[in-house]
A and B are shown apart, each in its own frame.
Chain A
Amino acid sequence: MKVRILVSLKESVLDPQGQTVRNALHTLGYLQVKDVRQGKVFEIELEGLSRAEAEKMIPEIADRVLANPIIEKFSWEVLEA
């Protein structure tokens, strides 16, 4: 089973990297780009787990390790069952 986890800064936290990317895009003329938020992607391969077990484990490891819940949020999706 293959899972993709997306970790990014919470809306309440300033993202200077995202802002820098947005400014660069503006310089290039892409003025329609209103905002950019930067994050991290993790692609994780799992084995020996049922779908239900995976759905329990993924948020757990995202919360404990992959994201810092004080500043970051996460979402995830199954790429391959």
Chain B
Amino acid sequence: MKFGVVVFPGSNCDYDTFHVLQNVMGQETVFLWHKEHNLQGVDCVVLPGGFSYGDYLRSGAIARFSPIMREVKKFADSGGLVLGICNGFQILLEAGLLPGAMLRNKNLKFLCQQVYIRIENNRTAFSNAGRRGQVLKIPIAHFDGNYYAPPELLSDLEKNRQIVFRYCDQNGKLSQEANVNGSVNNIAGLINRQGNVLGMMPHPERASEKILGSEDGKIIFRSMIDYLEKKKGSGKKKAVRAFRPAVSPLPPLIGTF
């Protein structure tokens, strides 16, 4: 499958995400510069973490007006897979591709730590390689990750099973202590109604190699690849699996801000 990692001024997990998709998951991957109008025929768009536009105004509030976001919206509206990680999640919320908004963390601290999240719904394009109730160890790094949804929206999200991940303890138990940023109903990741757009605050690209302390993040990427391969049909499956490049240097980023 072909993945596109969008690069905004201030993105800083773009290379990590690119590395994991290409070198760990063995997928063809390209960078998509925020000023571009062309998604280069990718099967999936990833909005990586970082501090797009310095998080000025509100996290993700300016990035949503980038030229490429018009294409991402069109892509999502036509059923394309879109994954937003951390700042990418915040951008999806600001762009209206996912419902709700982010508030400052409840303790007003930037949180950079390992957390545990529980798979609440494994019948999605982003979680099908995991089990329902499975606990994943994946780090977070954010200031504005306190997810908020007005009561009516929240009950809709619960009813439609749009909550894919919740903060929990090591044993999968939900608690206020485990809910480090104060998100309503411990929400760590959610999906849109159509099921093709997911936003999550934890960073799966930072938990996809043993040397980094956890490989649980691969479950998310594996799910997406399996979903896309199934969708495209088994004929293409072999060709895609064959694309396993040796670890190669990442392409330089060329562009002006």
Q: A residues near B, CB below 8 A?
A: 9, 12-14, 16-17, 20, 65-66, 68, 70-71
Contacts and interface: CB of A to CB of B under 8 A. Distances in A.
B108 A13 contact: no
B61 A65 contact: yes
A71 B93 CA distance: 12
9 contacts: A9-B103, A16-B103, A16-B104, A16-B108, A16-B182, A68-B61, A70-B149, A70-B150, A71-B103
Q: How extensive is the interface on chain B, given as a class? A: 10 to 19
Contacts of A70: 100-101, 148-150
A71 B148 contact: yes
A14 B106 CA distance: 9
Nearest to B96: A70
A53 to B, nearest CB: 22
Given A68-B94, A68-B101, A12 B108 contact: no
Contact of A14 (B58, B61, B103): B103
Contact of B104 (A17, A66, A68): A17
Q: State the majority secondary structure of interface residues on B.
A: loop
B135 to A, nearest CB: 28
Nearest to B108: A16
A17 to B, nearest CB: 6
B212 interface: no
A26 B84 CA distance: 41
Contacts of A9: 103
Nearest to A42: B57
A59 B58 CA distance: 18
Contacts of B94: 68
Interface in B36-89: 57-58, 61
A13 B154 CA distance: 14
Interface in B99-116: 100-101, 103-104, 106-108
Nearest to B106: A16
B137 to A, nearest CB: 27
Nearest to B60: A68
Contact of B148 (A13, A20, A65, A66): A13
A66 B106 CA distance: 23
